[in-house]
Amino acid sequence: MKEKFYITTAIAYTSKKPHIGNTYEAVLTDAIARYKRLRGYDVYFLTGTDEHGQKIQQEAEAAGITPQAYVDKVAGEIKSIWDMFNVSYDKFIRTTDEEHVKCVQKIFNKLYEQGDIYKGTYEGNYCTPCESFWTDTQLVDGKCPDCGRECKKASEEAYFLKMSKYADRLVEYYNSHDEFITPVSRKNEMINNFIKPGLQDLCVSRTSFTWGIPVTFDERHVTYVWLDALSNYITAIGFDIDNPSELYKKLWPADVQVIGKDIVRFHTIYWPIILMALGLPLPKQILAHPWLLSGIDKMSKSRGNVIYGDDLIAQFGLDPVRHYLLAEMGYYNDGSITYENLIKRTNSDLANVLGNLVSRTGAMIKQYFGGVIPKNSGNDDEFAVSLKTAIKEGFADTVAKYDKYLLADADAAIFNTLKACNKYIDETTPWVLAKNPEKKQALADVLSNLVESIRICNILLEPLMPDTAKKINAIFNVPEQNFESARDYNYCCEGVTLGEIPILFARIDEKKLLAEIEAKEKEAKKSAKEAEKNKKKSEKTDEKTEIIGIEDFAKVDLRVGIIKECVKAENSDKLLVLQIDMGGEIRQVVSGIAKYYTPEELIGKKVIVVSNLKPVKLRGIDSNGMILAADTENGVKVIFADENANPGSKVR
């Protein structure tokens, strides 16, 4: 039977759309989950959203909607961004889920009945944006230690969870479980800063706002953040005080809980104490990652330096962004994200090293062997011997790094190995061998060694860049692979005919792209202003269509195309993927019309295509153009062209 592996992210707070720094954690956890699956574990990956609290109540009031409607919207955004990033979670929990709410109420009642929760008065320095009370000693220069804002003195009736009762047992657990807090430097921080000075009891209820889980025996109170939020890790898998589910019994305790370094205290002090009070086992490992910063600052909506993941994917494609996040973030220091570095890494690692290796190897097999991967003679020359050594050492190095969840180091090890493959091409100069018919077998050996080396590296690459790994496997028609097959050369692709060789990563023109991004940001600011103006205008007059000149219309290149192929997108019930003949050139266009047309209805039809639209990726699928359609009362209707219009004709 497969060994279970239960991994979680912290749940994302639904006060605002998540920025790329928040998204990083989901991607990091995903890469670990994928690695563990690759290693044969029965992985269960939990993520989700934290949906209660004063801040959300305030945001909802400002937006003029109910808190539930507000969190539905933001949770939807978060989930769709996680999906866009290929985050392979098994469950997405929301703390407004009914099962969660009921379970938290039961936990609260049990802890109250057994005397671990008591009623008292909360007095302290309160930071409203952070929803945190701080003791005098915790303030930094009299201000909130988390956000640096002014705090105010406040007091209210509240329930508290007894903490100090469990302090000794907690330290004992730390000391007998070396990996519990990773990195270990955080352990001493917890002991010296929080446990030794004496643990403060934890406030677990509030009366100053209502958007929370009600305390059943005292309805003026709602459960305050941590008891509610932390419990998600067990409620999501069916924990119940009286009757825990089979899934819970199988999965708990969690193997790894991934969190940001700012919430270590909550996960290594409060969370274990809640579990101890409930008589439950503690998680095996809390893995705290550093922050992803924008330029030099921690990203923050109030500071206006926010970069969003969906924007980055639209600009760069999915895997360059995933790769950047995973490769740039070491384990001990904060990483940063800038467009310049993202472009550099994409060009150097992805286009120059990986993309170049794959396309050169594929192109040479097409050119010299008619696209059929040649057989290896088994006679390794000195270059082949050193290549194989580099691959085997690279494999061992990568696995060692993955096993410690040092993903940036694992990534570096893989790319070092890929560089050894490019070096092998330079050393063996296959284009020279190709000129000499007597060297045909030597040439075959070089290319088959390259395919094997790429196959092995690609298995290790999959947790980091799953889409790219899939594409590379498709190019070399690699049969189904497992981790064990990456340990050695087995030449399983011999005699196989290559598939299409797409450009995996186009080199980015840094100057041009940066100028485009700047222009776009300006444009966005301008149109936000204009939208505001127009909104005011349209309140006075009826809706009017903007009048444009012929020169504006002429910018749009409309062409007739004929739909040659059409399939439903694998990962969406809204999208169809069309292959359109534009008069010689076949274009792939993704269109959101799957609800209105079946693929069969469209094949052979002539449509009008906006052909100079900037390429985008929809759900990870390249779309290179758009087909015209009308919004009608009965849904979307595609505009079909006259049957006498030839593909490629310009529409004016």
Report the alpha-carbon distance of residue 491 to residue 508 in Å, rounded: 34
Three-state DSSP state, 53? coil
3-state secondary structure 316-377: HCHHHHHHHHHHHCCCCCCEEECHHHHHHHHHHHHHHHHHHHHHHHHHHHHHHHCCECCCCC
- The first and second tokens of residue 536, run together, are 């005011």
Residue in 325, 327, 290 with CA at minimum distance from that of residue 401: 327
> Which residues in 559-588 contact Zn ion (CB under 5 A)?
none
**Counting contacts by CB under 5 A, is residue 227 touching Zn ion?**
no
Q: How far is the CB of 11 from Zn ion (least distance, A)?
A: 20
3-state secondary structure 422-456: HHHHHHHCHHHHCCCHHHHHHHHHHHHHHHHHHHH
Choose between 130 and 492: whose C-beta lies nearer to Zn ion: 130
Q: How far is the CB of 193 from Zn ion (least distance, A)?
A: 18
Choices 22-30, 122-130, 167-175, 288-296; region in contact with Zn ion by CB under 5 A:
122-130
Residue in 110, 90, 96 with CA at minimum distance from that of residue 228: 96
Give the one residue of 26, 87, 107, 127 binding Zn ion; rule: CB under 5 A: 127
Count interface residues toward Zn ion (CB under 5 A): 6
Q: Give yes or no for a contact between 607 and 648, defined as CB atoms under 8 angstroms apart.
A: no
Whether a cis peptide bond, with omega within 30° of 0, leads into 253 is yes
Three-state DSSP state, 19? coil
Choose between 145 and 599: whose C-beta lies nearer to Zn ion: 145
Choose between 130 and 616: whose C-beta lies nearer to Zn ion: 130
Q: How far is the CB of 127 from Zn ion (least distance, A)?
A: 3
- The first and second tokens of residue 314, run together, are 């639209």
Question: Which amino acid type is present at position 66?
Answer: T
Choices 121-129, 208-216, 285-293, 459-467; region in contact with Zn ion by CB under 5 A:
121-129
Choices 64-72, 146-154, 496-504, 631-639; region in contact with Zn ion by CB under 5 A:
146-154
Q: Which residues pair with 248 in a beta bridge?
A: none
Q: How far is the CB of 179 from Zn ion (least distance, A)?
A: 31
Q: Is the dihedral of CA 20, 23, 25, 28 positive or negative?
A: negative
Q: How far is the CB of 58 from Zn ion (least distance, A)?
A: 14
379 Rama class: left (phi>0) / alpha (psi -120 to 50) / beta: beta
Choose between 149 and 614: whose C-beta lies nearer to Zn ion: 149
Residue in 26, 29, 8, 25 with CA at minimum distance from that of residue 405: 29
Q: How far is the CB of 498 from Zn ion (least distance, A)?
A: 57
Choose between 150 and 601: whose C-beta lies nearer to Zn ion: 150
Choose between 129 and 592: whose C-beta lies nearer to Zn ion: 129
**Counting contacts by CB under 5 A, is residue 144 touching Zn ion?**
yes
**Counting contacts by CB under 5 A, is residue 263 touching Zn ion?**
no
Choose between 147 and 517: whose C-beta lies nearer to Zn ion: 147
Q: Which residues pair with 618 in a beta bridge?
A: 621
Report the alpha-carbon distance of residue 389 to residue 497 in Å, rounded: 27
Choices 30-38, 110-118, 148-156, 196-204; region in contact with Zn ion by CB under 5 A:
148-156
Choices 105-113, 139-147, 338-346, 568-576; region in contact with Zn ion by CB under 5 A:
139-147
Q: How far is the CB of 450 from Zn ion (least distance, A)?
A: 55
Choices 119-127, 213-221, 332-340, 622-630; region in contact with Zn ion by CB under 5 A:
119-127
**Counting contacts by CB under 5 A, is residue 147 touching Zn ion?**
yes
Choices 53-61, 140-148, 373-381, 584-592; region in contact with Zn ion by CB under 5 A:
140-148
Q: What are phi and psi of 133, to 5 degrees?
A: -90, 140
Choose between 150 and 532: whose C-beta lies nearer to Zn ion: 150
Choose between 149 and 487: whose C-beta lies nearer to Zn ion: 149
Residue in 298, 250, 322 with CA at minimum distance from that of residue 43: 250
Q: How far is the CB of 145 from Zn ion (least distance, A)?
A: 8
Give the one residue of 146, 218, 494, 581 binding Zn ion; rule: CB under 5 A: 146
Choose between 124 and 238: whose C-beta lies nearer to Zn ion: 124
Q: How far is the CB of 133 from Zn ion (least distance, A)?
A: 11
Choose between 128 and 441: whose C-beta lies nearer to Zn ion: 128
Choose between 140 and 528: whose C-beta lies nearer to Zn ion: 140
The b/e string for 277-314 (b: 16+ C-beta within 10 A; e otherwise) is: bbebebbebbbbbbbbbbeeeebeeeeeebbbbbebbb
| C-alpha angle 445-498-493 in degrees, rounded to nearest 5 | 50
How would DSSP label each residue in 546-577? PP--HHHHHTS-EEEEEEEEEEE-TT-SS-EE
Q: How far is the CB of 388 from Zn ion (least distance, A)?
A: 56
Q: How far is the CB of 20 from Zn ion (least distance, A)?
A: 22
Give the one residue of 16, 109, 130, 419 binding Zn ion; rule: CB under 5 A: 130
Report the alpha-carbon distance of residue 275 to residue 191 in Å, rounded: 19
Q: Which residues pair with 8 in a beta bridge?
A: 46, 257
Choose between 38 and 144: whose C-beta lies nearer to Zn ion: 144
**Counting contacts by CB under 5 A, is residue 225 touching Zn ion?**
no
Using CB under 5 A, list all residues that contact Zn ion. 127, 130, 144, 146-147, 149
